[in-house]
Structure 1
């Protein structure tokens, strides 16, 4: 390969640049703006954002004719929570606490993507997030590094399977965004991140590392700074931690435009300097900017870049192409006929419905839910008849074919028992809409409100400083409250919200998130009792935005607020709101009642060679079968550095029939007690520990033990 051919392999372009994409007329202008030639496009290594077997086959065949060496393209896309069959957003999947269903969702997304011609998905996003103002919180599985790590592994297994070379129903995964993208200051997209090395290793790194240990083939750089250096040009992070320390030898790709953005960050003077920084940091593929093809050949010939770095990057790219089987099968799994049968099939839609029902979280219930089918209902709100329930990153979703909440309800009750009114828009309301809502609700026994955020209000670029429901919807709730009728609210949204004006005004509250293609049907299953809700929050809901970040595994501080000293001003507290979140991590209600009893430890002491067994008896005290998520937390009472008040270390999903009891057990090992010390060593300390078992991070029974070393 010539030097120019090698560098072109390191370039990723959107599919419209390539002949046969169906958008060929748009090629000339964009090429001029990027400063690249048709020859560079003909030699480019990867394509972004195209879906559909017929188009991809056409582009691949044309590309291989035009490329001197006949090297096939890799086709990549953002398949975040489904290709055509859209599953709940990842934050909702995290709230299912169901790794098997998460893996299944990724496997189905891979199958639909692969048959449609794609080879790589830019997922999973495993960024730890503690700030719901950030729009991309919907793409994370929450605020806990342990839970995020489990889901990272599940998603990678689902996408990649066991044999990418021969299993053409799988795609390569690309974990993102390395590193700490979810910690942007103020919850603002693309913003600065400033974390200590210990925080990075203790809380932010584990999920990325878990994905790589599961065999994830690619890593994407983050837009933010790490230790003052933008990740895309951060050599200690990429070559030091990722390559040398963790041994990652797969492909590292920049996020969209991140190489040229090194200039705006203020660490590169121009595009040539940006290319130099990125290639030295180990970035193999530059996404949608042209610093590499324009300047890397010159930098190599001038001796500023060792050509060995180019060879390493290209070898990694070609190795991935070989691993995907593209040299023998350039079209891989692309099959227009099979695509028609596989994509959005009944089996996949049934799986999406199941996961949506497992992901919804019941936050409040005065006993009104589940609803009886013979009651007259008024379904009111901007989501009553909306198909905008797929959420962000559903660019290929079949929105036109999904059921609305109104249609789903009509599958459960007589049409004569369902009255429907819009009530308001997402963020606008008229007097006429309010009057119609009042007239409609006056005729009903129960008011069901379908409220929330539109899809563009979260996702990339969707940061919000005010995370309450839009005022128009709060006004709608207040007007309907005057009727003094039972009210149920169903929320569609991509982040934890400040729920003042909602939770305090309604009798029941169901967090549906953006539930995907079959979401309306799944929510109807819950509302009418065909499914008992079992979702549990994977991220805390704040009392108010001024509390953020609020998360369960915080430090105690030297002056913790004590219930025994409510009048003590000089404690770490707010004067106007509680310290605690409105709804804590792990929280979720059921239509039945679970009782925890008889918690025991196998010993009050353990050592590195022994393990501790924790047991608790769980009883279903209600009249319905239900599934509880039994959660295990641990606290290191005295550490070499300050330790969190609680840390999730395990959980078990337990299905019980009415009146049934089951003993649930957990094994605690010394390894689970390790953490990063001030010198970054990863060890445990001898001393006292607290272990908690319960229904969530707040409501749990505590016992103590000691680690002897």
Structure 2
């Protein structure tokens, strides 16, 4: 089978690229310093404090208009009516102090045209998927007056119980940093003042993904070294990319909520990381410091946040209520307020709001254009992960009779995933919708049953669509049980009992614990909620019109008791071998002993169900002849790492080659493996390519025992393979 599924997408991809043209470099210039200082010098204290106030829009009324006219509002959330936005802007500019509002909304993985959830986009291992998705979202959202979004979320997420893992880019700092930076480029473009670009927001600063027990909003206990080596790198990458804003997290770390943590916001974010944009709180997180027990009351909370360097407060109006009095009492300085307002005004100048504050009604909408829909489909194609394919059950033959089952086969809203305030179910193309209406599949013979007592009759194969409702992932959607819910597993088992081949297609917002389900499926295609065009993308993959290429951006555990389990962990003094003793062995005569014991679970063993970076293809790929340009590398130098990659099948495909490194000895224990590079490599049937990576000495740097980032001399192992459990073939080099 020749797989040329990319060909039909080239014209559409070109259109999207023209629409989303951007620069891969970023410059702070112009910085609007003169304009900002001139305006700041004319503002009253009340007007300055008003710029630091962000309100949620709950309807157009005289009270809100008066607040805007008095200069008590700097930003509004969740206004999507362009006429209302223009009324509010007129109140601010013509009837107020002349400073425009900035309109913000959560546009996470699409505005109207919904792309796969961020975790799904990360599975593509393709920053262009993230960039184009963000660019499409910006184009559609800005058409409705939205100029600021609260994405990307670059929290490192290693606990599948946490609902917001869906909004994350996975467990790995390197992958998350590259994908997050690509989203920043997509949202902001080369010139933020262009009306189709919007300000991005790197969130949540910092460590929110490490919430205890995977419970949303919970405390974290991240050490200074872990903070710098694991949780901060994606933020640094976003800052280097020119991200306009950063959002503080809900959680406390080590007892200090970030919205009042002067060390994190001033010393780390401003000084160490050199962030020069707006710091905004998360929803009500300033007020929640009272509930935490960190602030005595609203006035105390406002003081703590203002002194910590929080520029804009979302929703609670504690700044507007208390800051002026705090200044009069000498508890908050005007200088700190001026610094915050400088960043806010600079953002508004960069967005071009002073010259173009009003929303222009376009004659032709870009929402749901063919280019956007095709880009969303391409993203869904690249994001799907083939986890199992026994006896070459997939791809299906178009001559086969297909029996379709399961709640996710025709679930237009749930297919979109979490964080889709503006997504529309009636524009979603589900698998059943595509089978019924897409001319490309008009010759497919299928039946669709929703009954719990399935009948396959004359069918050649059963395709079972299972997964999670969209409300079961995302914010405030943590779960302690992440098995398939309800009777889904029972349905799958019953269908398998018919003796027919079974293809399991999962759509979910997290890596579910599916070990118990795998015996009842001959093939498994996993999709992190794939968005508007998920249906036709999945069908293309099932019928071989496209070849799966996605890889897991997060480890799949066997059961929740293994959490947290991630590939780039530290080694223990007693690491477990792959064949470590478990209760599955005959243990009745084994006496209690600690001799030779290793770090693992007796019941679930050592390893995951599927490792980070794993993903199958209809093609077969073979790695060989790993080589280094030199056995040594000097400081401030580079090393070329190469491998021969061959497609040994008769099917064209794409393999994501991944480079991993291990620092054998350091001033602190180094992870057993760290991702340092990846490439999407297209190979025709039978084709061989030399895949080359350049490894710089700075890629080996980390924060050591002295809390200084540097590469330490010593020996390193390096691998290139198809996942983090890649073959034992490795090379060793020395950093001198």
TM-score range, shorter chain: over 0.9
2:470 to 455, 461, 471: 455
Partner of 1:343: 367
Contact 2:289-2:295 at 8 Å conserved across structures: yes
2:724 and 2:357 mapped to 1: Cα distance? 50
After TM superposition, give the deviation of residue 416 of structure 1 in Å. Answer: 7.1
SS of aligned partner of 1:521 = helix
Relative to structure 1, the CA distance from residue 578 to residue 341 in structure 2 (aligned partners, 3 Å threshold; closer, same or farther) is same
Partner of 1:427: none
After TM superposition, give the deviation of residue 210 of structure 1 in Å. Answer: 0.5
After TM superposition, give the deviation of residue 38 of structure 1 in Å. Answer: 4.3
After TM superposition, give the deviation of residue 124 of structure 1 in Å. Answer: 0.6
Q: Does 1:149 align with 2:191?
A: no
Partner of 2:154: 126
After TM superposition, give the deviation of residue 544 of structure 1 in Å. Answer: 0.7
Partner of 2:144: 116
Contact 1:686-1:706 at 8 Å conserved across structures: no
1:508-555 deviations in whole A, cap 9, x for unaligned? Answer: 100111111111111111111111010001101101100001100011
Contact 1:40-1:293 at 8 Å conserved across structures: no
Partner of 2:40: none
Map 1:414-493 onto structure 2 (within 5 A). 414=442, 417-422=445-450, 433-435=451-453, 438-439=454-455, 441-493=456-508
After TM superposition, give the deviation of residue 442 of structure 1 in Å. Answer: 3.1
1:564 and 1:495 mapped to 2: Cα distance? 28
| 243-252 vs 261-270, greater mean Cα deviation | 243-252
Q: Does 1:600 align with 2:627?
A: yes
Contact 1:625-1:657 at 8 Å conserved across structures: yes
Partner of 1:13: 55
1:544 and 1:61 mapped to 2: Cα distance? 56
**Unaligned stretches of 5+ residues in structure 2:** 1-42, 583-594
1:105-150 deviations in whole A, cap 9, x for unaligned? Answer: 1111111111221111111111101101100111111000011111
RMSD in angstroms over aligned alpha carbons?
A: 1.8
2:305 and 2:457 mapped to 1: Cα distance? 63
SS of aligned partner of 1:434 = coil
2:306 and 2:556 mapped to 1: Cα distance? 41
| 176-185 vs 311-320, greater mean Cα deviation | 311-320
1:2 to 30, 36, 44: 44
1:247 to 263, 274, 282: 274
Relative to structure 1, the CA distance from residue 38 to residue 612 in structure 2 (aligned partners, 3 Å threshold; closer, same or farther) is closer
Map 1:268-417 onto structure 2 (within 5 A). 268-331=295-358, 334-338=359-363, 340-366=364-390, 367-387=392-412, 388-410=414-436, 411=438, 412-414=440-442, 417=445
2:95 and 2:545 mapped to 1: Cα distance? 57
Map 1:598-637 onto structure 2 (within 5 A). 598-637=625-664
Q: Does 1:542 align with 2:542?
A: no
Contact 2:269-2:275 at 8 Å conserved across structures: yes
Partner of 2:698: 671
2:667 and 2:72 mapped to 1: Cα distance? 55
Contact 2:154-2:169 at 8 Å conserved across structures: yes
Contact 2:578-2:607 at 8 Å conserved across structures: no
1:588-610 deviations in whole A, cap 9, x for unaligned? Answer: 00011011111112222222254
1:311 and 1:384 mapped to 2: Cα distance? 55
SS of aligned partner of 2:353 = coil
1:563-609 deviations in whole A, cap 9, x for unaligned? Answer: 47648761111101121110100000001101111111222222225
Map 1:203-222 onto structure 2 (within 5 A). 203-222=230-249
SS of aligned partner of 2:639 = strand
After TM superposition, give the deviation of residue 356 of structure 1 in Å. Answer: 0.6
2:660 and 2:67 mapped to 1: Cα distance? 58
Contact 2:219-2:251 at 8 Å conserved across structures: yes
SS of aligned partner of 2:465 = strand
Contact 1:498-1:544 at 8 Å conserved across structures: yes
Partner of 2:76: 47
Contact 1:610-1:669 at 8 Å conserved across structures: yes
1:478 and 1:569 mapped to 2: Cα distance? 40
Contact 2:68-2:91 at 8 Å conserved across structures: no
Contact 1:191-1:224 at 8 Å conserved across structures: yes
After TM superposition, give the deviation of residue 61 of structure 1 in Å. Answer: 2.4
Contact 2:580-2:600 at 8 Å conserved across structures: no
Q: Does 1:169 align with 2:196?
A: yes
1:661 and 1:321 mapped to 2: Cα distance? 51
Contact 2:636-2:698 at 8 Å conserved across structures: no
1:470 and 1:230 mapped to 2: Cα distance? 34
2:481 and 2:518 mapped to 1: Cα distance? 17
Relative to structure 1, the CA distance from residue 608 to residue 154 in structure 2 (aligned partners, 3 Å threshold; closer, same or farther) is same
1:138 to 166, 182, 185: 166
Relative to structure 1, the CA distance from residue 343 to residue 564 in structure 2 (aligned partners, 3 Å threshold; closer, same or farther) is closer
Contact 1:133-1:464 at 8 Å conserved across structures: yes
Partner of 1:430: none
Partner of 1:429: none
After TM superposition, give the deviation of residue 268 of structure 1 in Å. Answer: 0.4
Partner of 2:531: 516
After TM superposition, give the deviation of residue 409 of structure 1 in Å. Answer: 2.7
1:610 and 1:62 mapped to 2: Cα distance? 58
SS of aligned partner of 1:133 = coil
2:263 to 236, 244, 247: 236
**Unaligned stretches of 5+ residues in structure 1:** 423-432
After TM superposition, give the deviation of residue 674 of structure 1 in Å. Answer: 1.5
SS of aligned partner of 2:58 = helix
1:267 and 1:647 mapped to 2: Cα distance? 37
Map 1:634-649 onto structure 2 (within 5 A). 634-649=661-676
